[in-house]
Every structure is written in structure tokens, then in C-alpha cells.
Amino acid sequence: MRTVADDPFRAPKGVHDVLPPDSARWSELVGAFARRAERAGYGLVVTPIFEHLEVFERVGVTTDVVKKEMYELEDKGGRRLALRPEGTAPVVRAFVEHRPPVPWKVWYLAPNFRYERPQKGRYRQHWQLGVEALGPDDPDLDVEVIALAEGFYRDVGVDASLVLNSMGDDQSRPAYIHALRAYLLEHADALGGEFRSRVEENPLRVLDTKVAEWQEVIERAPQLTESLSDQAREHFERVQHGLDVLGIDYTLAPRLVRGFDYYTSTTFEFVTAKLEAAQNALGGGGRYDRMAEEMGGPPTPGIGFGIGIERLLLALEAGDQAGPVRDRLDVFVVDTLGGDDGLRLLHQLREEGLRADRTAVGRSMKAQWKAADRSGATFGVLLAPDEVSREVAGVKALAGEETQVEVPLLDVAGWIKERLERDR
């Protein structure tokens, strides 16, 4: 017997379709993000969905995302490729390849692929909106990037709290990792082999694990912010000052290391109280001042973030803020003639910038009015033999009790536009 799970004509496990009307909210989020980003001088960047494996190895070969979850493939030419698991490495690869002038500020909308255990808010393909800014290591740029995310969450009505940390610089981090490893190893006998091997591989990756038995030890671990170099401390203080100046609230989170190895200096995350802890991260990012150089480019600091669209939708739903978006038609044409007039009128309405549609020609007038009501359109336009012989159409608002009026065929678009404008 074929089960749902192995039916090849269903989406694979952990991925999903986005259909109307839900997709209207989706595109609204994308539009709001694009407007925010472009207002701050970020241009759209589109990179391929797959890259050479090495690009993503820069994310960190000890990270779950690369080690356990990456979709790797070999193409017919024997190239080792991977589907993008995250957004930053491909953008830095594009920067290194094309060497645009700095500061280079870009935004993106792109899918990411991770072989995770699917659950609510955690999928094998998810979409992210994000920005990357390469060039200056100016802390005010960190503030700009964080403020952009904060403003976007406000635009779309999601309550997101900002948590902030610094991963230090090349002066402070190695000494810290050494101290952290030593501290964690003191507890390795009690916590078992898996703990020990993780600590030995990369102690930072222990800090962001959710294993319950390890939390007590993790909570008492030394904190990076206690051992920042003067330069790293000054940078971090200036970021906090900038956020204060802009009135953006934040909480310091000394153990926020995020799941990738490339972070240096500022790291941050936006979380929501509306979702369970396992999926409460709405977005996050930070500085990656060495990545361009590690890919063979000129030393170029960078900072960015990624925001998960599916999580945003869940947070909106959980906060009862997922009300209808305006995806309705302006006008629906009911055409009982099925001739050139209907064809021409519908085309004209669309050319005039109205959202217009009709059903398949040849259905009864009653069925067509029903379809018009179901469509949620603001106006209905009737083309029937009597009206068309006099070169007029019957126009009526579909909601309420307004009576139908006759409007010259050539004026229908103008008439509707005027009414929409007046009612707005």
C-alpha cells in the first residue's frame, strides 16, 4: 500500500508550497523588506541556489548546518556542489568574484536547504530575507544593519526582542576559546563522550546546544565579553551606544554564538515570546570580518542578517496579527456575450492598472455573479446584450446594497478608478 509519506506526487518531507491567499501575506512581507532595504541604500543581489562545496565549508565544517544538514551533490561533470544552507557565504563569494566598490550593500530573498528534523517552524527548505554590507568595520554600520531588521519587524507588526553579543576579534577570541575549552573539559568526565568530543572539536559549538543536561555547566562557562581586547570592547560599546541613540532596546546575551563559525565581533538575534523556545528565533546575524579574505578576496569586513519568512508568518499568526491582506481584485467582469467586448474591456481594465478578472466564458449569468462575489472583488461589471448594444456596461459595488449604474464602455476603467480613489 502506498502511504502519504512515499507518494512521489506530494512535496517531499519537510518542504511545503505557498499558495494564494497565504502567498499574499508572503509577498507583502517581501515588499515591506525591499522598501526598507532600498531606503537604506541596499540593492537586490541574486546568487545561484547551488555553489561549490568549498563556499559553504567557510560556514564552518564543525557546524551542524554543514556537517549534518547540507544537501551535497555531484553534477554530471563531477563537480562537488551543495544547495545553499545559508545566505551569507554565497554573497561573499559573489563579492570576491566581482570586486564591486565598497561599501557594498545588498539585500536578498532566497531559499535555504537544511536536512533538519522537520517540525513546526523548522523545515528542510525555508526562505530568508536578508542583507549583507561589506567594506567598513565601522560600528555605526552594525547599528544601521540592526536598525534595518528592527524597523522591518515593526513595519510588519511582529514583536521581536533583540539580543546582542560580541564574538571579539582575532586578539580576544583564541585566548577565550582556550579558556572555554579548559573549563568545559573539567566537566567532560561527568557529561560523557559526546560532550567531550564536541568540546575538543569546537567548544563554541557547545555553547549553543540545547541538550538539557549540559545547560548548568554551559551557564557557568566563562564569557567572551569578559575578555575582549580594547579594540573589540570599544567597537561593542559603540554599537550599544548607537542602539541607545536610536532608542532600540536590546538585552546582552553573553552566550549567543549563533550556529556558524564565521562570526567575529557583533552577533545578534531577534526572538519572539510568541513561539516555543526551539523555534523562537525570528532572525539573526553578525559580523564576519574574515570571510572575504578566506575566500581569496581582499581583506574586507562585513556584516549582515537573515530573517526566516516562515517563522515570521507563524509569529504573526500566534499574535493574531495575520488578518487579511489586500489581495482582492478591484473588478470582476460578468460577460454574458462571450465576444470581443468582454475580451477588450478586461484587457483595458488591466492596462489601466486595475486588478481585474472574469470566469471562463459561457457560464450562466448567475454562476458568473456568484464567482464575482467569491472573488472578493470591489466592483462587478456586467456586459449583457442590451447594455452592449447601447455601448454601456452595468457597474455595481459587490458589497452593500448599492444599485447598478450604467457607465459608457470606454469610461468603465476611469469610473472605477475614481470610485476606488474616493473610497480609500
Can you give the binding site for ligand AMP, defined by CB under 6 A? 86, 114, 116, 121-123, 126, 128, 259, 281-284, 306, 308, 310-311
Calculate the alpha carbon distances from 275 to 15, 139, 160, 208, 261 in Å. 20, 31, 11, 18, 26
Select 128 or 375, whichever has its Cβ closest to ligand AMP: 128
Select 86 or 144, whichever has its Cβ closest to ligand AMP: 86
Tell me how far, at minimum, the Cβ of 131 lies from ligand AMP, in Å: 13
Tell me how far, at minimum, the Cβ of 345 lies from ligand AMP, in Å: 44
Asked if residues 378 and 397 have their Cβ atoms less than 8 Å apart, the reply is yes
Length, in residues, of the chain = 424
Tell me how far, at minimum, the Cβ of 146 lies from ligand AMP, in Å: 14
Tell me how far, at minimum, the Cβ of 86 lies from ligand AMP, in Å: 5
- Distance (Å, whole) CA 424 – CA 418: 10
- How many angstroms from the chain centroid is the CA of residue 64? 21
Tell me how far, at minimum, the Cβ of 152 lies from ligand AMP, in Å: 13
Q: Report the SS3 class of residue 24.
A: helix
Calculate the alpha carbon distances from 159 to 23, 34, 75, 104, 153 in Å. 21, 20, 43, 30, 7
Select 131 or 416, whichever has its Cβ closest to ligand AMP: 131
Residue from 112, 158, 417 nearest 271 by CA: 158
Element (H, E) at 332: strand 331-335
Tell me how far, at minimum, the Cβ of 127 lies from ligand AMP, in Å: 8
Tell me how far, at minimum, the Cβ of 362 lies from ligand AMP, in Å: 45
Tell me how far, at minimum, the Cβ of 312 lies from ligand AMP, in Å: 7
The DSSP code for 119 is: B
Select 275 or 331, whichever has its Cβ closest to ligand AMP: 275
Q: Report the SS3 class of residue 199.
A: helix
- Distance (Å, whole) CA 289 – CA 302: 5
Select 271 or 382, whichever has its Cβ closest to ligand AMP: 271
Tell me how far, at minimum, the Cβ of 210 lies from ligand AMP, in Å: 14
Calculate the alpha carbon distances from 90 to 46, 126, 222, 376 in Å. 9, 16, 33, 42
Give the pairing type, strands 251-252 and 281-287.
unpaired
Asked if residues 140 and 242 have their Cβ atoms less than 8 Å apart, the reply is yes
Calculate the alpha carbon distances from 157 to 276, 322, 325, 366 in Å. 19, 9, 13, 40
Select 168 or 283, whichever has its Cβ closest to ligand AMP: 283
Select 128 or 225, whichever has its Cβ closest to ligand AMP: 128
Select 264 or 378, whichever has its Cβ closest to ligand AMP: 264
Residue nearest to ligand AMP (CB): 308
Q: Report the SS3 class of residue 403.
A: coil
Select 188 or 248, whichever has its Cβ closest to ligand AMP: 248
